[in-house]
Every structure is written in C-alpha cells, then in structure tokens.
Amino acid sequence: MRVLHICRVYFPDGCGVTERAVHSIASKGGAHGIDSRVLTVSPRGGCDEADLSGYRIKRYAAWRSGGSPAFIARFRREAAWADLLHFHFPWPCAQWAYLLGRVAVPAMATVHADAAGGGLLARRGRDGFLARMRRIIVTSPNYLEGSAILRGLHGKVEVVPAGIEDLPARDPEAVWRWRQRIGQRFFVFLGGLRDYKGLHYLLDAMQGRDYPLAVAGDGPERPALEAHARAAGLRSVRFLGPLGEDDKHDLLAAAYGFVLPSCRRDEVFGLPLVEASVHGLPMISCEVGTGTSFVNLHQETGLVVPPCDARALGAALDRFWLEPAQATAWGEAARRRYVDHFTEQAMVARHAACYGAILGRAPEAGGRAHGGHAYCWRLPDTKEATMPIDPRRGRPASPASRPSHPSTPSNLPEAAVDETGNEDPGAELTELPEHEKQEQAGIPPDERGGRSGRAKHERTVGNHPVDPNSMPSRIGLPVGVDREAAADPGRQTPEAPETDNRS
C-alpha cells in the first residue's frame, strides 16, 4: 500500500502529536506492507530528502501561513504516486489543492483540530473536503463528542488513539540527580509554554503550598510565567527550559506526579499525559472535552478537575501529596492503561487495518519491515536476493506479454507509469537507456547496436540491470547534495543551516 501523508508541518519545523504519529506510521508501517511518503511545506524552503529510517519527505516552499502556490500546482502530480492519501487536518492549502485538482485517488483524514469558523467559502471548502473522505480518524471519543465540524459524519469516523514507543527502565543515577536537584517528591509539567496550557492557574494554585514543581518546555509565555512565579514568591518552582529526550524521560521517571492544566480545546489529545503514563505517573488534568480526559481517567489514573480553576487544582495537588498510597495506585493504573491503549505498535496496526479496509486489502500482519522508502519493492518469491529497486527496472517482460493497465494515462511516456498504472511524478521525462530498450525487444547482446552492446553493465544482486538514471539513483539524495555530504542527514539543502532532524 502506497500511502502519502499530507501535513502542514513536519520535523524539524514541529514536534507535536501529528509529526510524531506520521513518523511512527511511516517508519514502522513497513511491517504491515505500508510504503509511506510525507508531503509538506516549510517556510525555510523546499527540498526532497529521506528520513533516517528510509521514507521520503518532499517539502515545498511556503509562506508562514502555510499557503504554497507551488504545492497546489504540483499536488495532483504528487498524489498520482499513492494508492491512498492521508490528510492531517486542518490545512486549508491542502484541502483546496485536493478539491481543485479533482484528484481521484482515495483519501482519508485525521482530524487534529476543529478549525471551526471562517467565512462562507472556508466553511464550504472544509465541509466539502470532509464529505469526500472515505474515512475520518480522531484520537479520542471525547474529542469526537464535542467536535462541531464532525456532526453528521460519525458513520465514517474511527477512533485511533495516538501512541508512543515504550522505553526501557531509566538509569538510576540519572533519576537520582534530578531528585537531588528538585526534590525527593515533586510535580512536573511538560509541554509548550502557551496560553492555553493554563500554567498561570497552576502557579496560582501553588501559592501557599511548598510543593516542588518542575516546568519543562519553552514557548512565548515563558517570560510572563517566570515573572508570575517571582511576584508570587514561588521559590519551589523551577523553569527548566527545553530538554533532550533522555533528560525529559529521566525527569519523568524521577517525578512524583504529572500536571497538565490545559484550559481550552486547543489541547486536542494531551500526548504529554501518555509520556507520563509510560513512566507510571499519576496525573492531574482539566476537563476540556478532548483526549486529555480519555488518557487520564478521573479517580482511575489520577484526577480530572474543572478548567481555569486554581482552587480545584490546589485541592488535587493536596490530595496527591497527602495520599501517597493512592497516588501510587493511580500511577500503576496509568501504566496499565498505556500498555492497553497507547502503544506505538497498536497505533500503527490500527492505521494499517484502516488503510486496508479502504483499499480492500488485508494488511500484512508481522511482515518483514522493509522501511518506508517509496522504491523499496518486494520481489516475487524466488531464490534471488531481494533489494530496493525501481519497480520498472525489475526483470522486464517482453512487449507482447506485458499486460496493459486500463488506467494508464495515454499521454505519458511508458517510463512515467508504474505497474499499477499510477503516474510517477518524478519520472515523466525519463526514458529507458538504449541497452534496456534492446534487451526488452529481445535483441541478443552480440547484435545490439551502440556502444552499450559491448559494454559490461553493472548488475544488482538479483541479476537485474542497474540503470544510473533509474528513480532510486536519481532521487536517493536531495538535489545538489553529493553522497559524502549525505552523511549528515540534518543538512537538508546545500545552503541551509545544519539542523537536528532526529525524530
């Protein structure tokens, strides 16, 4: 199954629920027979690159608003590669590209936010786009119940919770260092420091209470929050700034309880709650009608309080602090709930089942993971070795025996169409080398004309001819980047600053 993920922001420009879910599916979906590409935009400019795990990422230059004329102009051609389009909603630019391009490829969408409001044209475009989706995914039933834009569409909606990879036990020395720095028992907040996170209410709740609190993360609200803490005399509150993955999980392993005081529906799922549950932390969150109350069940994995209520938050903190046995029991239940509902493996498997249902195919259960690169091709079962090749460059059939596909565009060169009849956007101007044309025509090697007739051509492990102009050779690296420079995968374009693209 060829799946094209279409999202407005992707690593390293963003690192939220959407980006992490797409990366998990693209990097781990090979075990279920999923070939993935990611189509996105970036204000830093366009490029064509490959993730470390193998799948391809195509970026178009865009404005800060996410609009991209180049993306819209090329969308139909990019979509022709896929068996299925997976939109990550909302992104108006992609919605209009799909509608205006009259793309016939089946499509589905994951709704990450309502994107309600807008003018008449925006609403009609949004509603028309969602109506054309074969299936719609949301990350929690709580969010579905409160979603204004999904009313009347419940029949095509499926709940697939976001999941993350489990982690091994943390280094006891690293955990001990955090407790020495903050306290033997402390609460922790993890996330972006934005207004909808409700941290001002949490700081108000901390007044008169000397509970240690670690705030990990960065964002536009950080200066105001630090000033708030100083004005309130909260000496036990530590602003740690952004942390690396290892430090973040060591901090969570050392903490006593987790607090996410988000006060608006902008907190669609609450992935930090899942990260806390991986480490068996009891949780405090607010009821905002989204996935936060699906991850954290009231009186089962922690406490859920009304939003924008400092008094209720303070009472929840008191109960955690004064009832350690109960807090421990909630933490153990949180860990069990993570294993049952929020693992990365379960999320990827459910997406694979959804893709298979739309396309009428059964996903491959426990198949060999072959990466997410578009041209990792599974050869027929033979004694020959299997390796990534261009599907057009396999053992070619003779012209008489090659089946014609009814959906093959008649106005494209043969090399621009793969075996399924889909147009390959990157190959419409590519022609087969002369020696391969002669080989397909059945001309013996000693009778072939041109200098290729006597040349000894390099061949693959599977004894297939290697074409230096084939798609794997041409798109394996971004334009302008040589193979030595490719040793640094974070460098996306020749002039771009070095960035950490690890995900």
pLDDT of residue 123 exceeding 90? no
Report CA 137 to chain centroid distance, whole Å: 14
* Residues 238, 97 within the same domain: no
- Taking the C-alpha atoms of residue 415 and residue 457, their distance in angstroms, rounded to an integer, is 20
Amino acid identity, position 459:
R
* Residues 264, 119 within the same domain: no
Among 103, 131, 159, where does a domain finish? Answer: 159
- Taking the C-alpha atoms of residue 429 and residue 474, their distance in angstroms, rounded to an integer, is 12
Average pLDDT of the chain? 80
* Residues 146, 192 within the same domain: no
Among 323, 340, 357, where does a domain finish? Answer: 340
Tokens of residue 383, six digits:
């004694």
pLDDT of residue 421 exceeding 50? no
Compute the Cα dihedral for 226, 228, 232, 234 and give only its sign.
negative
The 10s digit of each residue's pLDDT in 20-78 is 999 999 999 999 999 999 999 999 888 988 888 889 999 999 998 889 999 999 999 99
pLDDT value at position 115? Answer: 76
| pLDDT (average), residues 387-410 | 38
* Residues 119, 258 within the same domain: no
- Taking the C-alpha atoms of residue 61 and residue 47, their distance in angstroms, rounded to an integer, is 8
Tokens of residue 449, six digits:
């004309």
Q: Is the separation of the CB atoms in 122 and 149 below 8 Å?
A: no
Q: Is residue 283 part of a domain?
A: yes
For residue 496, which of 78, 26, 59, 67 has the smallest C-alpha distance?
A: 59
Q: Is the separation of the CB atoms in 258 and 273 below 8 Å?
A: yes
The strand pair at 56-61 and 47-50 is best described as antiparallel
Q: Is residue 250 part of a domain?
A: yes
Query: Who's near 118: CB < 8 A, 6+ residues apart?
Result: 126
Residue with tokens 């819209």: 72
Q: Out of 226-235, 284-293, 400-409, 443-452, which region has the weakest mean confidence (pLDDT)?
A: 400-409
pLDDT value at position 427? Answer: 41
pLDDT value at position 467? Answer: 52
The CATH number covering residue 210 comes to 3.40.50.2000
* Residues 103, 67 within the same domain: yes
Among 298, 313, 340, where does a domain finish? Answer: 340
Looking at per-residue confidence, does 159 or 429 come out higher? 159
* Residues 150, 257 within the same domain: no
| pLDDT (average), residues 468-495 | 44
pLDDT of residue 126 exceeding 60? yes
pLDDT value at position 375? Answer: 25
Count Cβ atoms below 10 Å from residue 21 Cβ, excluding itself. Answer: 28
Q: Is residue 27 part of a domain?
A: yes
- Taking the C-alpha atoms of residue 300 and residue 278, their distance in angstroms, rounded to an integer, is 16
* Residues 154, 70 within the same domain: yes
The 10s digit of each residue's pLDDT in 137-192 is 999 999 999 998 999 899 999 999 999 999 999 999 999 999 999 999 999 999 99
Looking at per-residue confidence, does 97 or 427 come out higher? 97
The domain of 120 spans 2-159
pLDDT value at position 415? Answer: 40
pLDDT value at position 365? Answer: 56
The 10s digit of each residue's pLDDT in 337-371 is 999 999 999 999 999 999 999 999 876 655 433 33
Looking at per-residue confidence, does 463 or 440 come out higher? 440
Q: Is residue 440 part of a domain?
A: no
Q: Is residue 90 part of a domain?
A: yes
pTM reported for the whole predicted model: 0.71
Q: Is the separation of the CB atoms in 140 and 17 below 8 Å?
A: no
- Taking the C-alpha atoms of residue 72 and residue 31, their distance in angstroms, rounded to an integer, is 32
| pLDDT (average), residues 315-332 | 98
Q: Is residue 110 part of a domain?
A: yes
Tokens of residue 320, six digits:
């955690």
Residue with tokens 């929050």: 225
* Residues 124, 154 within the same domain: yes
pLDDT value at position 367? Answer: 42
pLDDT value at position 317? Answer: 98
pLDDT value at position 64? Answer: 83
Q: Is residue 417 part of a domain?
A: no
pLDDT band at 388 (very low <50, low <70, confident <90, very high): very low
pLDDT value at position 434? Answer: 63
Report CA 122 to chain centroid distance, whole Å: 26
* Residues 17, 81 within the same domain: yes
pLDDT band at 122 (very low <50, low <70, confident <90, very high): confident
* Residues 11, 140 within the same domain: yes
Looking at per-residue confidence, does 270 or 381 come out higher? 270
Q: Is residue 237 part of a domain?
A: yes
* Residues 153, 258 within the same domain: no
Q: How many domains does the chain have?
A: 2
Looking at per-residue confidence, does 304 or 466 come out higher? 304
Q: Out of 5-19, 20-34, 60-74, 392-406, which region has the weakest mean confidence (pLDDT)?
A: 392-406
Looking at per-residue confidence, does 479 or 436 come out higher? 436
* Residues 187, 329 within the same domain: yes
pLDDT band at 387 (very low <50, low <70, confident <90, very high): very low
pLDDT value at position 442? Answer: 64
CA distances from residue 452 to 81, 420, 456 in whole angstroms, order as listed: 31, 30, 8
